[in-house]
Amino acid sequence: MELILTLLIGCVFGENISFISDPGVYGPPLEIAHAYYQQWPTGIAVSSTGRMFSNYPGGLDPSNVYNGRNEVFAVGELTTLTSEVAYPSLEMNRPPGGAINYSTIPPISVMSVMSTTDGVLLEAMYGGPKLVGVNLTTNTVFKTIVFPSTVAYGDSYLNDVRFDLRPNLSDSSGEGFAYITDSSTSGHNALIIVDLGSGESWRHLGLTKSVRGESQFLPFIWGQPGYYTQAKEPYSGLSIGSDGIALSADGETLYWCPLASRYMYSAPTAKLRARGEASELLAQQSVMNNGQKGLSDGLETDSNGLIYVGNNEGNAINMFNPSNGMVLTFLRDPRINWVDTMSVATDGYLYFTVNQLNFAASTYPGIDRRVAPFALFKAKLPNGGSKVSSR
């Protein structure tokens, strides 16, 4: 009673009363690496020489689709603080007849493994889902790997990829492997493994909880619920499975997380590359649950072995330390909403896109609330961390 009376007296006589409040920021300061005014981005990749590339998926944003009039492209190189150019060329970003095939009814536009028409995802066909390698010196395609229908299903969404180019991994080619997440919203989630030399690919862990989204998953970002308006039900939680992916610094462990989950999982890469009679069973048994780390889209690794994970509900990026299993905050800033993709560069910075995906028309209340420009931020890594060589 004495405390309450003191507070009331303080209010009556105009005394200033202050309470502890959230400071809103933590960790190294954010630096602006790029502002996207032209198109809506998701990915970012920073080469060993500092060149930056982003992708602009038409399957997630119809305004990113070339329709014969707009100067848009699926992959671009960031050339100035606010400018991008088509990469490796504008022609490669414009399939024959345009990005939208108007000869079909209804018209279909193709983006990687997704086709869209009026915002509805349609099944992809063989020849669409592929892995394309471009030489950054000559800006020419040096390899194309097409996924068979037994690996990339019609409703697959081949999303994020990590490469391990160590020559001793494959007896036949020595070209290494790629690991890809299938982020299907239909539940056909899995990890896809690709032998870059032979071009063979296969699926693993398709029957496990580790690649599936959690039922009724509902995130809150900036205090707003993230109901998904394009699901089968009018308003439902996110249903997207395996999405973010990262390779450990030594290449021996693969980390991944479903988008509709706060958990991160891992498995030995040797188990995922195996193709023996019991390889799927052994791969399933090798999966480890590394605990909760926040709502994450992309993942990334630095030379210190730390795994960086988004914490979109906390306006933050966290870091998982495999040596002790702890998740700590790397940085936090009110300008962060949806951390989509991260890339560690040789300059010792973590680059990441913040693209307001949670404000897109695909989320409740079905109105596009995004405000350009979209951001590419960078922040200095702790303890001299840098890019991991995949060779």
What gap in Å lies between CA 150 and CA 200, rounded to an integer?
11
- Average pLDDT of the chain? 87
Domains contained in the chain, number = 1
The answer as to whether 36 is a domain residue is yes
| Residue range of the domain that includes 289 | 29-84+156-384
Stronger pLDDT, 346 or 117, i.e. the higher one: 346
312 belongs to a structural domain: yes
Q: Is 369's pLDDT higher than 70? A: yes
Quick one: average pLDDT of 295-309? 98
Q: Is residue 146 part of a domain?
A: no
Q: 16-25, pLDDT tens digit by residue?
A: 899 999 999 9
- In this structure, is residue 135 part of a structural domain? no
Reported as a single tens digit per residue, the pLDDT across 329-348 is 999 999 999 999 999 999 99
More confident residue, 235 or 166: 166
Q: What is the pLDDT of residue 100?
A: 41
CATH code of residue 296 = 2.120.10.30
Whether 9 is in a domain gets the answer: no
Q: Could you report the per-residue pLDDT of 260-281, keeping only the tens digit for each?
A: 999 999 999 999 999 999 999 9
Q: Decide if 23 is inside a domain.
A: no
Q: Decide if 99 is inside a domain.
A: no
pLDDT recorded at residue 95: 65
Global pTM reads: 0.89
Residue 126: its pLDDT value, please? Answer: 64
The pLDDT of residue 117:
33
Q: Is residue 266 part of a domain?
A: yes
Question: Of 58-67, 139-148, 355-364, which gets the smallest average pLDDT?
Answer: 58-67
